[in-house]
Amino acid sequence: MIDTALSFGLTHLWEKGHPSKDESHHISFSFSHEPESWSFVIGGEAKPPHLKFFTFNKRFKADFKDSGFEWTWEWENSGGKNILIQPRDLRTILEHLPLDDIKNGRLPKYDRMKMLDTGGAFIRSEAELEGKLYANYISNPAVISLHRQRSFPSKTPPERAARTDLIFALDDSVVVAELKVGSSPEADVAQVRRYLDNAALKSAYPDKPLFGAVIASNFQSNAFAEAERSSVSLYVYDESDGISLRLVHAMDVLPVINV
C-alpha cells in the first residue's frame, strides 16, 4: 500500500508542525510538507500492518461523488468526519482523483465557517440536514405536525432520556427520526430503538403507533443487522437536486417529500 502511494508521487510522509509531539499515530501521504496538505493517512486505528482502511481527506468528498466512488467509502461518523476507504480500492481511487491539481496546490478547501451554509453543494452538518428536511416536510399534507429537538426525560432506570431530531405526527402513526450526515453505524439504530421505549415519549403520543427511522448519507453493514432486530426503517438522503429520501431497509414509514 505504501509502494502504491509512492508510485503516484505521494512521497511526503509528514507535515510541518504536525505532530506537535515526539511521536505520531499516523503516516500522512502528501505532495509536500506544507500544513494541511495531506491527501490520505494510515492511522493507528487502521490496525497496521493488516490494514482495515485508509483515511482520505474530507476535502475530497465532492470528487468521490463525482467519480462514482460512493460504493467504495464510508464517511466517518465522529472525529474528523473524513472518508474511510478499503485498501483494495486505493489504486483505483488515486487513478481518478485530480492529483495534478492537488500537486499544484489546488487542494479543495474545507471551510468550517460554512458548516451551516445551506447554499453549499453538500450537506455538512446534522443541523443543516434537519433544517432542509423540516422545510420540505412542514408543508406536506400528510404531516399533521413536525417537531424538532424534543427532549423526554427518563422516569426509572435503566431507561434513558431521549432527545429526538425530528418527530413526524402523521394521520395514522408517529415517526421518530434520527439524522446522520456521515455513515451511520448500528449504534444510531439502537439509539432510535431506545427512544421508542422511552415512557415519556410514548405517553406524549398515546393514540398512534410509534415507528423509528434513521436518515443518513449511507449505512455501515452492521446497521442493517441492528435495524432488522429493532424494526427501524433506514433511509438514504440525496441532495443532488433539492433533497429526497430513498428507503433502503424495512417499512416505508415517511411520506414523499414535496421537493
User: Is 257 contained in some domain?
Assistant: no
Backbone angles phi, psi at 246, to 5 degrees: -130, 120
Domain that holds residue 152: 126-249
Global pTM?
A: 0.57
Same domain for 174 and 217? yes
Distance CA 42, CA 59 (A): 17
Distance CA 83, CA 98 (A): 16
DSSP 57-71: -GGGHHHHHHTT-TT
Same domain for 9 and 51? yes
Grid-cell match 506537535, residue found: 20
User: Is 116 contained in some domain?
Assistant: no
Same domain for 232 and 131? yes
User: Is 8 contained in some domain?
Assistant: yes
Name the nearest CA neighbour of 27 among 6, 45, 41, 44: 41
Percent pLDDT > 90 in the chain is 39
28-86 tens-digit pLDDT: 999 998 888 889 999 887 888 888 888 888 888 777 766 666 555 666 655 566 788 88
Same domain for 216 and 136? yes
User: Is 120 contained in some domain?
Assistant: no
Same domain for 240 and 131? yes
pLDDT for position 158: 67
- Residue 118's pLDDT band (boundaries 50, 70, 90)? very low
User: Is 182 contained in some domain?
Assistant: yes
- Say how many domains are in the chain: 2
CB within 8 Å of 142: residues ≥ 6 apart: 170, 171, 255
Q: Which one is predicted more confidently, 128 or 75?
A: 128
Q: What is the mean pLDDT of residues 162-170?
A: 95
Strand order in the sheet with 54-56: 26-29, 40-43, 54-56, 83-85, 73-75
- Residue 242's pLDDT band (boundaries 50, 70, 90)? confident
User: Is 131 contained in some domain?
Assistant: yes
Same domain for 137 and 103? no
Same domain for 98 and 29? yes
Same domain for 105 and 166? no
